[in-house]
Structure 1
Amino acid sequence: MKGDARDPRGLIREAYRIDGITAGECRTIFLDWALGVPADQDTKTEVKALLVQYADEPTSHPMTQTLIAALRDAAPAKRRGGRAGRQ
């Protein structure tokens, strides 16, 4: 079995196993994982469950930091430049 119900492809689990993984690599892995979450499931709920599942990992680990950041609300969109933004 590669992963579990929350992480079927084992992406998050493998991220914790990679020595020297960077924050950028964790964000890429997280995005790949998030795109695989079924549309009928709440991603934030799944992220919270992953944080509980990996609670024994250090909070300084880049994947833990990525998961925590995923729970924050996104900043409101700013005005885009160009012709469309002026009209």
Structure 2
Amino acid sequence: MKKGDATDPKGLIADAYRIEGITSGECRSIFLDWALSLPVGADTNPLIAKLLTRHPEPDHPMTAVLIEGQKAAGPAKRRGGRAARVMQ
């Protein structure tokens, strides 16, 4: 895996897996930076699935963070507009 591919644009996730003794908190911080480096509107679920396939290390804290992120990710929802202002 090279840095700069569509799944891990900055190579952050790959680097996290190389850091010995990394903590869950550090992995969450790296995950947030990874998510912010994606293009606007990117669907994270398939990207996270690819990362989990690419890094099959079940005991690594980044794996737990990726699984948590996959569960929390959902389709983007529009917020605002008339529907948000008008009570139903």
Common fold: TM-score over 0.5? yes
**Other structure's SS at 1:27 match:** helix
> 1:39 aligned to 2:51?
no
Cα separation, partners in 2 of 1:48 and 1:12, compared to 1, 3 Å: same
- State TM-score, norm by structure 2: 0.73
1:71-82 aligned at under 5 Å gives the runs 71-73=70-72
- 2:19 corresponds to: 18
- 1:65 corresponds to: 64
**Other structure's SS at 1:67 match:** helix
> Displacement of 1:3 after TM fit?
3.9
> Displacement of 1:5 after TM fit?
2.3
Cα separation, partners in 2 of 1:34 and 1:60, compared to 1, 3 Å: same
- 2:52 corresponds to: 51
Gaps of 5+ in 2: 74-88
List, as ranges, runs of 4+ consecutive aligned residues in structure 1 with deviation greater than 4 Å: none
2:9–2:38: 8 Å Cα contact kept in structure 1?
Answer: no
> Displacement of 1:31 after TM fit?
0.3
Equivalent residues, number:
72
Gaps of 5+ in 1: 75-87
- Distance of 2:65 and 2:25 partners within structure 1: 9
> Displacement of 1:54 after TM fit?
1.2
Percent identical pairs in the alignment equals 54
